[in-house]
Amino acid sequence: MDGEKEHHDFSVCREGGYDIAVRGIKAALARGFRVTTNTTLFDGADPNSVRRFFDEMTSLGVEGMMLSPGYSYDKAPDQQHFLGRARTRRLFRAILANRKSSWNFNMSPLFGEFLMGKRNFSCTPWGMPTYNVFGWQKPCYLLQDGYADSFAELMAETAWAQYGTESGNSKCANCMVHSGYEASGVDYGFGSVRGFFAMAKAYVFNHYPDREALDMLAEPPKPVHSYNPLVQIE
């Protein structure tokens, strides 16, 4: 291995994960691939940083961006750094209000309004069935409740009423995740004339001017570890 190659490899090792991802996005776009992003936000996320991320992804040529809040489901190893519902709505209101027309999102606009606290939806746990080598995964995939051997078994034998915030299931108490609620927004948008007009309106009038949300952006960042201690890995 020559010296130039060694230097190149060393520089790559110094890159952060975000830098590597951006390099991959640029390479994929240069080869003609369509690229979208999927971002999960946790407690302590800086809304200004997220909005700058939208600007950068837009400038790169990303086709669409999907967002979802992280929540403290039982299987998550770190229970401390997740968003409750009130904090989720506040964060996404700051992020998604007063938005730029250049931003393109790869998600239902009604799901975006749900995250901002403008709409209330019930979970649709059957909305995004997942299949892998183990079979059809029972909802929600975050909860890891096992697998069904067939789609018919999944639909017929799953106790659907035990999922979603309204069910009283403690595992679902703070959930606003896309896998359960984006399907609810889509179902509402295409399930009635009223819902269709709401969806059309959300596509056209998507700036969401909000003075209070601008004030939130002016607040100084508050690192999550200042009120929620960092997880210690031993």
Per residue in 156-167, pLDDT tens?
998 888 888 888
- Sorted by sequence, the CB contacts under 8 Å of residue 60 that are 6+ apart come out as 22, 25, 26, 29
- Give me the chain's average pLDDT, please: 84
What confidence score (pLDDT) does residue 72 get? Answer: 55
Q: What tens-digit pLDDT sequence spans the chain (234 residues)?
A: 444 444 444 444 567 889 999 999 999 999 999 999 999 888 888 999 999 999 999 999 999 999 998 765 555 444 444 457 888 899 999 999 999 999 999 999 999 999 999 999 999 988 888 889 999 988 887 777 889 999 999 999 988 888 888 888 888 888 888 888 999 999 999 999 999 999 999 999 999 999 999 999 998 876 654 445 444 444
Amino acid at 146: G
pLDDT at residue 7, as a whole number: 45
- Distance, CA of 162 to CA of 140 (rounded, Å): 11
Output the pLDDT for position 85.
81
Residue 68: beta bridge partners?
A: 40
121 close to 188: Cβ distance less than 8 angstroms: yes
C-alpha to C-alpha distance for 141 and 144, rounded to whole angstroms: 5
Whether omega before 140 lies within 30 degrees of 0, making that bond cis, reads yes
The verdict on pTM exceeding 0.85 is: no
Say what the pLDDT of residue 142 is: 76
pLDDT for 79 equals 45
Tens-place pLDDT, residues 85-142: 888 899 999 999 999 999 999 999 999 999 999 999 999 988 888 889 999 988 887 7
Among candidate residues 108, 207, 126, 198, the one with its CA nearest the CA of residue 162:
126
